[in-house]
Amino acid sequence: MTPQPSETAAAYRATEGGALDVDRAFYDRFAGVRHELVDSFEIPIRSGRAWTVPQGHLCRIVTVEGPQVGDLNVWNLHDPRERMWAARTRQLQRAHISTYDRVWSNLPFLRPLFTITADSLADYGLDADGGRVHDLLGTRCDPYVNRMLTGEDFDFHCHSNLVRAVLPYGLTEFDVHDVLNVFQCTGLNDADQYFMKDCPARRGDYFEFFAETDLLCALSTCPGGDLSVPLWGPDARDPLDVCRPLGIEVHRPDSALLDGWAPPSRAAYRNLHGIRRPEWGEGRPSTA
């Protein structure tokens, strides 16, 4: 029997005016408006690069030559202990995200790092195989799993690309975290196993987000390219011929467009976790 789509209500639901209720009208201000370009560059195939996005700015990732998957990491520029939390974002938003969805940070910060403002693949929806785009289900390819599956070393997986990208910012392999797979089409098969499909993006497709705070971003151009070639298994081969660069643009909107907006505050919970601070009396501590 083919399972039917579930209509069961989501566990985490927005209340009007609550933390998950996005002011769509505010983010719609940026659509169809020319903004000042303050930075732009291309990330070559099978490589990675890190860059900064000031709060209140827009960042756009572009498929400059055709379909290509990118693995994205994001941190608070001023405190990289705060970084994107893929698992909680899946719960608070969706497993595949698009316009108006937010990427949330880890505990004890728990606030949106960025909000998606434009997505040329927003209408892709659910395909015949159950695939969707812009994936938070999986994570980055890495040389450790590759060695485990193939017995061979390869130094240009997304994990390694991100490691090299963040070194100039004082970060290390331990700071690289679960990713947002931009332009990647994935889902779960009938055995509840993760699958990847050919990237549906075309030349000029884009994914744009609004920085809610000062961000450090890093992106890897996946060595699998558009994922039309299996990376593992009996049909695997080197997919070098389907690898393409990705473009990055950072834009500064007119300040008038930011009226009424303020960077989100970190979580209000005092994070005491039931631990009471000892109070020192005459010669001995007291928790009274």
Element containing residue 166 per DSSP (H, E) = helix 158-166
Band of residue 283 on the pLDDT scale cut at 50, 70, 90: low
Report d(CA 84, CA 67) in Å as an integer. Answer: 25
Per-residue pLDDT of 139-152, as tens digits, reads 999 999 999 999 99
Band of residue 1 on the pLDDT scale cut at 50, 70, 90: very low
The answer to whether position 159 is within a domain reads yes
Q: Report whether pLDDT(269) > 50.
A: yes
Band of residue 214 on the pLDDT scale cut at 50, 70, 90: very high
Per-residue pLDDT of 95-111, as tens digits, reads 999 999 999 999 999 99
Q: Report whether pLDDT(287) > 70.
A: no
Q: What pLDDT score does 71 carry?
A: 98
Task: Report the chain's mean pLDDT, rounded to a whole number.
Answer: 94
Specify the DSSP class assigned to residue 26: H
Q: Report whether pLDDT(285) > 90.
A: no
Q: What is the mean pLDDT of residues 73-91?
A: 98
Q: What pLDDT score does 271 carry?
A: 85
Q: What pLDDT score does 279 carry?
A: 78
Per-residue pLDDT of 223-243, as tens digits, reads 999 999 988 888 888 999 999
The answer to whether position 95 is within a domain reads yes
Q: What pLDDT score does 13 carry?
A: 85
Report d(CA 114, CA 211) in Å as an integer. Answer: 5
Q: What is the mean pLDDT of residues 79-103?
A: 98
- Which two three-digit tokens encode residue 214? 């000062």
Report d(CA 41, CA 127) in Å as an integer. Answer: 32
Question: How many domains is the chain partitioned into structurally?
Answer: 1
Report d(CA 240, CA 68) in Å as an integer. Answer: 12
Of 116, 113, 80, 73, the closest CA to residue 98 belongs to 116
The answer to whether position 280 is within a domain reads no
Residue 188: domain span: 42-201+215-241
Report d(CA 175, CA 164) in Å as an integer. Answer: 11
The answer to whether position 210 is within a domain reads no
The answer to whether position 164 is within a domain reads yes
Q: What is the mean pLDDT of residues 120-144?
A: 96
State the distance between the two ends of the chain, measured CA to CA, in whole angstroms: 61
The answer to whether position 196 is within a domain reads yes
Q: What pLDDT score does 233 carry?
A: 84
Q: What is the mean pLDDT of residues 118-132?
A: 97
Residue corresponding to tokens 């473009």 = 247
The answer to whether position 264 is within a domain reads no
Band of residue 117 on the pLDDT scale cut at 50, 70, 90: very high
Q: What is the mean pLDDT of residues 112-129?
A: 97
Band of residue 2 on the pLDDT scale cut at 50, 70, 90: very low
Kindly state the percentage of the chain with pLDDT values over 70: 95
The answer to whether position 226 is within a domain reads yes
Report d(CA 144, CA 152) in Å as an integer. Answer: 10
**pTM, full prediction:** 0.93
